[in-house]
Amino acid sequence: MEIFQQYKVGESCLLVDINFSSNPELNAELSELQGLVHAANWQVKEVVSLNRKYPDPKYFCGRGKLDEISEKLKEGGIDLIVFNHSITPSQERNIETLLSCKVIDRTRLILEIFSQRAKTHEGKLQVELAQLNYAATRLVRGWTHLERQKGGIGVRGGPGETQLELDRRLLRQRISQIEKRLDKVRKQRGLSRASRKKNKVPTIAFVGYTNAGKSTLFNHISGADVLAKDQLFATLDPTLRQIHIPKLGQVVLSDTVGFIRNLPHDLVEAFCATLEEAIEADLLVHVVDYADSEYISYIEQVNSVLTQINAHEKPVLIVYNKIDRLESVHPDIHYHEDKPADVYLSAKEGIGIDYLFEAIARHFNQNWLKGVLTLEPQKAKVRAQLYALGVVEKEKIADDGNYQLAITIAKSDFDAISHMNKLELMANFSQH
């Protein structure tokens, strides 16, 4: 049963953007809608902007404005209208009937992009689940295959009811199947996270407004090949990598889908599994496009989504990215007493990454030891372990042949090395 229509790449469309004075929460940025359309590989032929106090209950933007839109459709040869809002199934059906044109809303556009981006098995399941939940509210629309069902003696209702009931039952069955599969995937992820926690491997999730440079930063420090483009929702599927961070050790990084303004609630629920790594992470790295004049607003939007997925109480380290686009802004790190540091860097140019590593290590290692550790030559294994952690700042060989290592190390790592080698290293450590 083909319920969710796929639109062609290169489809030309008309955008409708309405500013509602009575309810600003309904409004969304036109530039973001244009970015979403571009991400779907469609072409914008016309843009219609207007002001209203309230949405029209029947036609959303009003009958008079639809007459104007109808003229633009004929002039431009356009057969697709994209609303910068969520519209009801009845409003969508009324507009399509009046204009004889395909109509989609902002939620449907996002789903179209997700269907193009999903590559993994889990991502495809999440996309299909969101599509089916969306389509379930629109089964009342007058498709021709429903009209071919005939009523008569012994058949309740009128034309199309039998087929409509069949479609609804098939939808419910498919949704149930996908939810069971996703539940299995979540359990598998849960086992992986439990293993990491058992081995005390910190988990760090990259979050941020879409197109803030998360994937570029993630690729730079992890060696991954996640798609990084100047495009909304370039990354959809979560990617995990284990890396070594100096003065800390092994950590697991995860790159998540970018957030956008007014992310529809049903999409948040459907893609909760995609964001599950953020929910379960020990630390969130919030990547911000510092070169964007609206960056404060985008920070607020990300915080809003984190609240929706119950991740707002996680410690957050803010990374102000793209400083290479700004004059008089240099790589830097700002420490805070009660929360992780703020870091200023450029993921594209690879400058300031050391500050990010330092901030992450400092967050997870609140207790530090700084001083000189003296090791006998036969303790070369301990020396190698310290170098592997990246905690050795200087080294010299004393007159008696012993190693003298100037180190800055987390006390937890120092104690772990002592325990691993069954040594009392503190006796040979002069702290200062």
Q: Mind giving me the DSSP string for 13-60?
A: EEEEEEEESS-GGG---HHHHHHHHHHTT-EEEEEEEEEESS-BTTTB
pLDDT of residue 162: 64
pLDDT of residue 223: 76
**Do 164 and 258 share a domain, yes or no?**
no
In a domain, 134, yes or no: no
The pTM score is 0.67
pLDDT of residue 10: 62
Q: Express each pLDDT in 180-218 by its tens digit.
A: 888 887 777 666 666 656 556 788 989 888 788 888 898
Q: What is the CATH number of the domain that holds 373?
A: 3.30.70
**Do 267 and 289 share a domain, yes or no?**
yes
In a domain, 127, yes or no: no
Partner residues linked to 13 by β-bridges:
44
pLDDT of residue 122: 74
> Last residue of a domain, which of 345, 364, 383?
364
Q: What is the CATH number of the domain that holds 76?
A: 3.40.50.11060
Give the pLDDT band (50/70/90) at residue 132: confident
Q: Express each pLDDT in 26-71 by its tens digit.
A: 777 788 888 888 888 888 999 999 999 989 999 999 898 999 999 9
The H-assigned helical ranges of 199-289 are: 214-222, 265-270, 276-280
In a domain, 132, yes or no: no
Q: Express each pLDDT in 234-260 by its tens digit.
A: 555 567 888 888 878 888 888 877 777
In a domain, 195, yes or no: no
**Do 403 and 316 share a domain, yes or no?**
no
- Rounded CA gap, 136 and 171, in Å? 7
Backbone φ, ψ for residue 156 (5° rounding) = -75, 145
Number of domains in the chain: 4
Backbone φ, ψ for residue 77 (5° rounding) = 60, 40
**Do 150 and 242 share a domain, yes or no?**
no
- Rounded CA gap, 246 and 345, in Å? 18
**Do 110 and 175 share a domain, yes or no?**
no
Q: What is the CATH number of the domain that holds 273?
A: 3.40.50.300
Residues whose CB falls within 8 Å of the CB of residue 329, separated by 6 or more in sequence, listed in order: 290, 323, 344
**Do 217 and 358 share a domain, yes or no?**
yes
The amino acid sitting at 364 is F
**Do 393 and 327 share a domain, yes or no?**
no
* Assigned token pair, 224: 């991954």
- Rounded CA gap, 348 and 314, in Å? 27
**Do 170 and 261 share a domain, yes or no?**
no
pLDDT of residue 143: 42
Give the pLDDT band (50/70/90) at residue 288: very high
**Do 214 and 331 share a domain, yes or no?**
yes
Range of the domain at 100: 12-117
Cβ 305 vs Cβ 345: under 8 Å: no
In a domain, 213, yes or no: yes
**Do 245 and 343 share a domain, yes or no?**
yes
**Do 376 and 354 share a domain, yes or no?**
no
Question: Quick one: average pLDDT of 132-141?
Answer: 72
**Do 415 and 343 share a domain, yes or no?**
no
DSSP three-state, residue 291: coil
